[in-house]
Structures are given as C-alpha cells and as structure tokens.
C-alpha cells in the first residue's frame, strides 16, 4: 500500500494518495461486481430459453405428438428465417464466445485495440478504458480525449487486444542524440548520473534497464542513445507513467546542457546566387496614361486594336513602349548630357 522513499519517511500527501488508491480499487471492485451480475443474468436468460425449449419437446412427446412432424410442418417458415438471421446469429455467437470464453478485459481496464500484424509503439498505444460490457456490445472511453465509443463484440473477435491492467510494469523509452566528438568517459558519467536519478526515486522507478547506442550517424555528427527505464506502475495508470517519463526526459536534457553534451545539428549549405529569369525579361511593361484610356503595353498593341487609334498614335505608343522597356545606355564619363538633349528628336 505504502511505497516509502529510501529514507523511509512518508509525507502526508503520499499517505492521502495511497488511501485514495485503495478507495478507487474498492469502487472498481463494486463496478466489476455489478457488471458481472448483469452478464450472469443475460446468460441465464439464454440458458432458460434452451431449457424451456427442451421441456416443450418433452411435453410433446409425452402427449403422443411427434415433435419432428411439428417442425416439418413449420419448415416453410423456419427456412426463410434461418437464411435471414444466419449472419446475425453467427456474429452474435462469436461475440458471445469473446465475452464468456476469452474474457480479454474487465470493467475499468485500459486496453488498446489494433490489428494482429500491426507494430506496437514503444511508448504505449492509444488507451481506451472499458466502461460497460454486455453480451452484444462493449462501451469504451478514450483516455486522451474522453470520448465514448460503443463497439459490437463480434468486431473485436479477430483483433489484438492489449490489456494494460494485466500487463507487467511499464517500460519507458527515451531517445537522446549526443555529439560524436564527446569522449566515452563523459558518456559513462552521464549514464551514472541518470542511474542515480532513477535509484533515488523508488516510488516511481524499479530500475534503469539499459543505456546503449542504437544509431551512429558519422555524416550528421551524432550518436543516438536509448534509455530504458522500468516504472513501478503498469500502463493502466498512464497519467503517472507519462509524468514520470517527462521528468526523466527533462532531467536528461538538463544534464546534457550542464555537461556540454547537447547535440546541435550542422547548418545546411545554401546557395544564394541570383540568376536572371528569362520570363521576366519577356514580360511587357505597362504604360500608364493620364487620359481615360486603359493601360496599354507593347505586347497588347495588335492589329485588331489599331483600328481604334490613329496611325500616329500607334507609332507613338510603340516608341514609348520600346523606350521604357529598353533604357538608353549610360553616357560617357567625359561628357555631360542634359535631360533635354537625351530626349531630343534631333
């Protein structure tokens, strides 16, 4: 019930938490008992139907009536019903076997449903908490979003159901990137510091399982290490496990900063040369006019638009378009050309 630290002292807060855990277990036991009673009542009804059916056949035999002749006379009704409820009956009995025979979960269990061949994430799957179980359906509540879902038992029959309440203590995986230039002695010191951090918290951690290199990237300049720690709780108490993992990750990052072991990715080479764009050179320049006419460019002066202007206007527009699109070359250094002489027509 109580998990004291290494010095053996228990604070008032830890005492209240332990008492609260016992209270939660009692409430969960009551909920499981009530749900088991409901399942037993539903299963008893099925047994009663089969029992009274057998009593009916026995009564017909005692009265001198052949029960088989009765069924043969009802064949015209029973056969269409059999084809109609064939799939539904098969699915119902598959779900019934899942709940009665396999019993993969109970009320309050945290489970994860996935395909049989799907890979399992190292840091836990999406949690679903079982709220209600019947012979037909099962009601789940999603842990992160608190959403409620109802699933038929038949649909769960061919899936892989991970029950964290029946699993062992959770294992935490933390991935760290250290620079390839860090000496190995420094890495061993880092390992010993993390090991002492885990050892000083027996209420959270069982042990530091492993600290090993799993990936070497010489071109990128880093070595990736894997830290594996075993928590005292299973993934059923996901909130506590995730909080402990966050604390351990933050501690590792802070130690890396203090020891100068934090990996900084190298900057990527960037070419900043500017190349001319041929499309920009061919783009026509728009000439604005102070009159009410629309903007006219050199590319927009075509034969079908000349009819609206005089010959001199078209010639002037083409000349202005060429003047703005191709500026005149700069004058020589030993000569001074005024603005008037530059635009003169002589």
| 36 compared with 240, residue with greater pLDDT | 240
Mean local confidence (pLDDT), 9-26: 74
Mean local confidence (pLDDT), 110-134: 83
* Contact assessment for residue 143 and residue 137, using Cβ atoms and an 8 Å cutoff: no
102 — pLDDT class (breaks 50, 70, 90): confident
Residue 320 has pLDDT above 80, yes or no: no
Tokens of 232: 């005292």
pLDDT in tens, 19-35: 777 777 777 777 777 77
* Contact assessment for residue 133 and residue 142, using Cβ atoms and an 8 Å cutoff: no
pLDDT given at position 205: 93
268 — pLDDT class (breaks 50, 70, 90): low
318 — pLDDT class (breaks 50, 70, 90): low
pLDDT given at position 337: 44
Tokens of 261: 């072991």
Residue 140's H or E segment, with its range, is strand 137-142
Average pLDDT value over all residues in the chain: 75
Q: Which CATH number fits domain 171-258: 2.60.40, 3.50.50, 3.90.1520, 3.30.70?
A: 3.30.70
- Nearest residue to 60 via CA among 47, 73, 79, 45: 73
pLDDT given at position 251: 92
Show me where the domains of the chain are located: 12-166, 171-258
245 — pLDDT class (breaks 50, 70, 90): very high
Angle at 100 between CA 57 and CA 108, to 5 degrees: 145
Exposure string for 217-251, b = 16+ CB within 10 A, e = fewer: eeeeebbebbbebbbbbbbbbbebbbebbeebeee
| 72 compared with 161, residue with greater pLDDT | 161
Mean local confidence (pLDDT), 257-282: 68
pLDDT in tens, 292-310: 444 444 444 444 444 444 4
Angle at 88 between CA 84 and CA 92, to 5 degrees: 150
pLDDT given at position 340: 46
pLDDT in tens, 170-213: 999 999 999 888 899 999 999 999 999 999 888 889 999 999 99
* Contact assessment for residue 190 and residue 259, using Cβ atoms and an 8 Å cutoff: yes
Query: How many angstroms separate the CA atoms of 322 and 325, rounded?
Result: 5
pLDDT in tens, 43-70: 788 788 888 888 887 887 788 777 777 7
Residue 278 has pLDDT above 60, yes or no: no
Query: How many angstroms separate the CA atoms of 245 and 173, rounded?
Result: 8
Name the phi and psi angles at 154, rounded to 5: -65, -35
């Amino acid at each position: 019930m109580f998990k004291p630290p290494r010095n053996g002292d228990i604070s008032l807060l830890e005492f209240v938490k332990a008492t609260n855990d016992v209270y939660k277990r009692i409430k969960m036991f009551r909920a499981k008992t009530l749900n088991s009673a409901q399942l037993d009542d539903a299963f008893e009804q099925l047994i009663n139907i089969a029992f009274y059916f057998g009593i009916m056949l026995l009564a017909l035999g005692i009265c001198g009536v052949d029960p088989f002749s009765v069924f043969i006379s009802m064949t015209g009704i029973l056969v269409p019903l059999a084809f109609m409820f064939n799939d539904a009956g098969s699915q119902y009995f598959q779900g019934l076997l899942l709940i009665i025979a396999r019993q993969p979960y109970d009320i309050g269990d945290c489970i994860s449903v996935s395909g049989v061949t799907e890979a399992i994430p190292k840091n836990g799957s999406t949690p679903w908490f079982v709220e209600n179980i019947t012979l037909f359906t099962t009601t789940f509540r999603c842990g992160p979003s608190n959403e409620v879902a109802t699933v038929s038992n038949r649909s769960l029959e061919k899936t892989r159901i991970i029950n964290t309440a029946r699993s062992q203590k959770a294992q935490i995986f933390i991935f760290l990137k250290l620079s390839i230039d860090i000496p190995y002695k420094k890495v061993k010191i880092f390992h010993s510091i993390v090991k002492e951090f885990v050892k000083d918290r027996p209420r959270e951690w069982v042990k530091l399982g492993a600290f090993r290199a799993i990936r070497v990237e010489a071109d990128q300049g880093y070595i990736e290490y894997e830290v594996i720690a075993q928590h005292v709780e299973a993934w059923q108490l996901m909130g506590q496990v995730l909080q402990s993992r966050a604390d351990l990750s933050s501690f590792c990052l802070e130690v890396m900063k203090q020891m100068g072991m934090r990996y900084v990715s190298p900057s990527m080479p960037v070419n900043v040369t500017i190349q001319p764009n041929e499309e920009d050179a061919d783009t026509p320049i728009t000439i604005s006019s102070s009159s009410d006419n629309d903007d006219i460019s050199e590319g927009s002066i075509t034969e079908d638009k000349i009819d609206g202007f005089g010959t001199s206007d078209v010639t002037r527009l083409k000349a202005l378009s060429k003047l703005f699109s191709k500026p005149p070359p700069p004058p020589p250094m030993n000569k001074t050309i005024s603005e008037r002489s530059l635009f003169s027509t002589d």
